[in-house]
Structure 1
Amino acid sequence: MKKEECTEMILSAMSEKGLTFGEMAEKVGRHEVWVATALFGQASMSKEEAETVGSVLGLDADCVKLLQECPYKGSLSTVVPTDPLIYRLYEIMAIYGMPLKAIVHEKFGDGIMSAIDFEVDVRKMEDPKGDRVIIELNGKFLPYKKW
């Protein structure tokens, strides 16, 4: 079984059972964004976490095992995404990426934001002009080493 097939099984089972990523996160005991990341094959779960998911969703042993494997991270297609929400995030980085990089360098120096020591949160803010999506990226600053 390939990870993509396992992901399809997971999403199908969640849909059939009417479960959200937030509900899955409660069952696993982790943050909903991290759980969603793992269920999409971009993070590895512990044996206990994977077995919990398998039990809740009725997954076979191969899929439970795949949830525990170290993933090939960032394995999305290199083609510009066509899904509107993912495209907008891509567009945001195309427009604001260089300005954000410049501001990070002004405030912290020459370095990067870790994607390892990292957290993401998604919140909804109600607004009379239309609800707002708030995505918070929180990563440790890692300065480049000189040698």
Structure 2
Amino acid sequence: MTQTTLLVNGKSKSINIDDDTPLLYALRDDLNLKGPKFGCGLGQCGACTVHVDGQAIRSCITPAKSVSNKKITTLEGLGSSAKPSKLQQAFIDEQAAQCGYCINGMIMTASAFLAKNKNPSDQEITDALSGNLCRCGTHQRIVAAVKRYLSLS
């Protein structure tokens, strides 16, 4: 175990982890952040998505040590239940979550995408979110939530 410093949601956190510990485990187990979820463990479903230096990455396959001293943002860093971000509020307003398991990945992926593309087409939104799996089939509501956010911005 070695000490690693993670810059998470604007705060520096020092934790002791093994060299191969996935970032997801460090966030959930050591820092008690529950936004990113364990889905497939292979980086294929998107439930574990977080931002590292503004890029959406899959935290289940990213070693925590590899992002030491980089800016990490989780769903909790975008907003809170008391004060959700505009994007989070759009997802709430559109009732985009059915079981809610994919929503972390959908919001984090959408947030990183929208930071680069301020006026995407419906197809660009769909393409940007295509790497995230939703087993409940609320894709239309998720796209509607992104479009609602764009109409408010």
For the aligned pair, the TM-score class normalised by the smaller chain equals: under 0.3
**Greater helix share, structure number:** 1
When Rg is computed on C-alpha atoms for both structures, the one with the higher figure is 1
Q: Give the alignment's TM-score, normalised by structure 1.
A: 0.23
TM-score, reference length from structure 2: 0.23
